[in-house]
Amino acid sequence: MNELTFTDVHAFQILDSRGYPTLRVRLTSSNGTWETASAPSGASTGAHEAVELRDSGSLYSGRGVETAVAGINTSIRELLLSRTWPSQRSVDTALCELDGTADKSRLGANAVVAVSMASARAFATFSGQELHAWIGNSLGQPERLPVPHFNVLNGGAHAANPLAFQEFMIAPTGAPTLPEAIRWGSEIYHALGLTLRQKGLSTGLGDEGGYAPEISRPEEALELITAAITDAGYVTGPSGVTIALDPAANYFYHEGSYDLNGRSYNPSQLTKYYEGLISDYPIRSLEDPLAEDDPYGWPELTALLGSRVQVVGDDLFVTNPDRVRKGIQEAAANSVLIKPNQIGTVTETLDTLTIAEQGGFTAMVSHRSGETEDTFVADLAVGSGCGQLKSGAPARGERVAKYNRLLEIADAFPALPYGLVEKFSKDRGTS
């Protein structure tokens, strides 16, 4: 019998890392094993993302997810218990059909993604594989331990400071192993904290565990971070530690122009500004440098900067296979951010990874700013072999849970290679 039978599906409301409600699913298979999965939640969400179902009303300021929970415990439960399941794709296709909308707004992407993730875990267990190995086999790709991208300084929608850019990440690209990369990240994070204290700046944290000092110019943040890298004893650049930025430009885009550093930029001026930052600092990756609905700037920016940095579409692509396909055709970026809850199912997420690879794009797997202790994205990063994971700072339980899961995989599978894959399809055959 190669098909999976579920005997129970049950969801309940829990809290995420911001103290807002989200949901957890418990999915039981006929052999008596059960798997859980929890839905994360974004703050700087793209307009084209699959939609979370929230209750509105007065409880939890309208953010409750009891309606989404009830949908799992009734119609999704009925569906999953009604037949046997030959594959994850069959489960995800049935979930999409039951929902019946293009953006998962009837059942809620929060409900659908948690069920889909729990189902992927059930299929992995059913086939006797670890989740990351099952993902690697599903994609037909060699596994790889990713370079952790530690978001050490927060701004934008994730912090109360006046800094427009959302994320300043350090990537230990030159570390020889994953455990070394984690150590480098932790040491640099603490060196940064010490510098902030010495300068009398706040060491309060943003939503993803990075510091959120009262600074406003990206250059100030970049100076502090490069100094912290050096203070911790590391070199900047590909053989040491590089920087990845997520300006999340939707946040400072208003009516056709970008409000930054007290002035207004059009897309070409902002692109020139990034070019200056890339020349002055060891930046290797630039995510959402422009707004999702800036129709002309992306190909222009990628043509100018794409040979020097990874240009990552997050709100632009929202892990959507069709949007990534279009982005590849238009050369609107050269990389895609991968967040399962943006599209709603594991199968669609894996399809997006395949499309990215075939189109010569790199990919980076990502957490959300509202997280739980669920570590699915760590396994997804390893199984996809994409070489990059961002999961916030090397601090705060929900962020560290993903890095600790990477350490667990690295410990159990010491032969797995570590590091970047410069071109997504290059280098993969040999590992």
Interface residues toward ligand 2PG, by CB under 6 A:
42-45, 166-167, 208, 246, 248, 314, 366, 368-369
CB 213 to Mg ion: min, Å: 21
398 binds, among Mg ion, ligand 2PG, none (CB under 5 to 8 A by kind): none
38 binds, among ligand 2PG, Mg ion, none (CB under 5 to 8 A by kind): none
* Tokens of residue 347, six digits: 């199968």
List 257's β-bridge partners, or say none.
254
CB 342 to ligand 2PG: min, Å: 8
Cα separation of 372 and 317, whole Å? 24
CB 199 to Mg ion: min, Å: 28
Task: Specify the residue, 242 or 369, whose C-beta has the smaller distance to Mg ion.
Answer: 369
Cα separation of 211 and 193, whole Å? 7
357 binds, among Mg ion, ligand 2PG, none (CB under 5 to 8 A by kind): none
374 binds, among ligand 2PG, Mg ion, none (CB under 5 to 8 A by kind): none
Task: Specify the residue, 18 or 428, whose C-beta has the smaller distance to ligand 2PG.
Answer: 18
Which residues fall within 8 angstroms of residue 403, CB to CB, at 6 or more apart? 148, 182, 185, 378, 391, 394
CB 122 to ligand 2PG: min, Å: 26
* Tokens of residue 110, six digits: 């929060």
55 binds, among ligand 2PG, Mg ion, none (CB under 5 to 8 A by kind): none
CB 86 to ligand 2PG: min, Å: 33
**Contacts with Mg ion, residue ranges (CB under 5 A):** 246, 288, 314
369 binds, among Mg ion, ligand 2PG, none (CB under 5 to 8 A by kind): ligand 2PG
156 binds, among Mg ion, ligand 2PG, none (CB under 5 to 8 A by kind): none
Task: Specify the residue, 40 or 213, whose C-beta has the smaller distance to ligand 2PG.
Answer: 40
CB 41 to ligand 2PG: min, Å: 7
Task: Specify the residue, 108 or 174, whose C-beta has the smaller distance to ligand 2PG.
Answer: 108
Task: Specify the residue, 80 or 389, whose C-beta has the smaller distance to ligand 2PG.
Answer: 389
Catalytic residues, which ones?
A: 208, 339
- The residue sitting closest to Mg ion, measured at its beta carbon, is 314
* Tokens of residue 400, six digits: 């560290």
Task: Specify the residue, 174 or 387, whose C-beta has the smaller distance to Mg ion.
Answer: 387
Residues 195 and 264: beta-carbon distance below 8 Å: no
CB 207 to ligand 2PG: min, Å: 7
Cα separation of 127 and 3, whole Å? 10
